[in-house]
Amino acid sequence: MKEIVLDTETTGLSVENGHRIVEIGCIELEDQILTSNRFHCYLNPQRKVSEEAFKVHGYSDEFLSDKKKFSEIADDFIKFIGDKKLIIHNAQFDLSHLNNELKLLGKKPILKDQVIDTLDIAREKFPGSQISLDALCKRFRIDNSKRKLHTALIDCELLSKVYINLIDQKEPKLDFSEIKDDSFTNKNSSIDFCKNVIKPSLNELKEHQNFLKKSLKKNYF
């Protein structure tokens, strides 16, 4: 299953105050594994960046002045996300800005049922705890040292790791449904399988569990 981890940066908080998107970042997951497919662009918002937003992402009016407008990348963006599930942290914010941009172009909005909000998942799993992206990175021991400012692609990379931890999918899924080798199931197979199973000792099991607790999550990312 393919999913898209998505993040945006904007000129300010509210579309009601005329704020626009200045950056879109998307990375693709397939069965919770990062692929090489990405979508990223900086955008000319055709308005000034608020002082508060500049402190968050550092994109100045001058830097954005020669970038493409949303109307120039809209079709490519829509094609990239398609009908895949969108993984977003605090989806209400990003969705309001994306749908505002799409509305200005007379295009269909992104529906809520296409979105998985990791903020909602974290709120349910860790009630009463801090659930910002930085807080979740700390909880799952994910290195976020590159996140000096909020940038869409870095945030997407961090969010993909947070998402995998939130849904408890630490290892790739293996699908054997398409294996057509009858030697695994054919009772008449001439292959002589060894039936003697060597079981680990209780001490070996205990040491293995300790290793998993200390090392697996840290080393996976």
d(CA 2, CA 84): 6
Q: Quick one: what percent of the chain has pLDDT higher than 90?
A: 72
pLDDT in tens, 119-146: 999 999 999 999 999 999 999 999 999 8
pLDDT in tens, 209-219: 776 666 555 44
Distance of CA 98 to the CA centre of its chain: 17
Mean of the per-residue pLDDT values of the chain: 86
User: Which tens digit of pLDDT belongs to each residue from 36-58?
Assistant: 999 999 999 999 999 999 999 99
Q: Which of helix, strand or coil describes residue 194?
A: coil
Superfamily of segment(s) 2-166: Ribonuclease H-like superfamily/Ribonuclease H (3.30.420.10)
Least confident of 15-19, 125-129, 186-190: 186-190
State the residue for tokens 């509210």: 14
Residue among 78, 154, 79, 89 at smallest CA distance from 116: 89
Higher pLDDT, residue 170 or 142: 142
Give the model's pLDDT for residue 183: 47
Closest Cα to residue 10, out of 56, 65, 69?
A: 56
Backbone angles phi, psi at 136, to 5 degrees: -70, -35
Query: Which pLDDT score, from 0 to 100, does residue 175 have?
Result: 54
Residues annotated catalytic, as ranges? 150
CA distance linking residue 33 with residue 11, whole number of Å:
32
Confidence grade of residue 196 (pLDDT, cut at 50, 70, 90): low
| DSSP codes of every residue in 9-30 | EESSS-GGGT--EEEEEEEEEE
Token pair 């550092």 is found at: 58
On whether the CB atoms of residues 137 and 60 are closer than 8 A, the answer is: no
181, pLDDT greater than 90 = no
This prediction's pTM: 0.74
Rounded to the nearest 10°, the torsion over CA 116, 122, 125, 131 is -170
Q: How many CB atoms lie within 10 A of CB 95?
A: 21
- Residue 120 makes CB contacts below 8 A (sequence gap 6+) with none
pLDDT over 70 for what percent of the chain? 81
Give me the residue label for tokens 């996300």.
81
* pLDDT level of residue 67 (50, 70, 90 thresholds): very high
Tokens for 202, please give them: 């209780």
pLDDT band for position 201 (cuts 50, 70, 90):
confident
| Domain range summary for the chain, segments of one domain joined by + | 2-166, 182-220
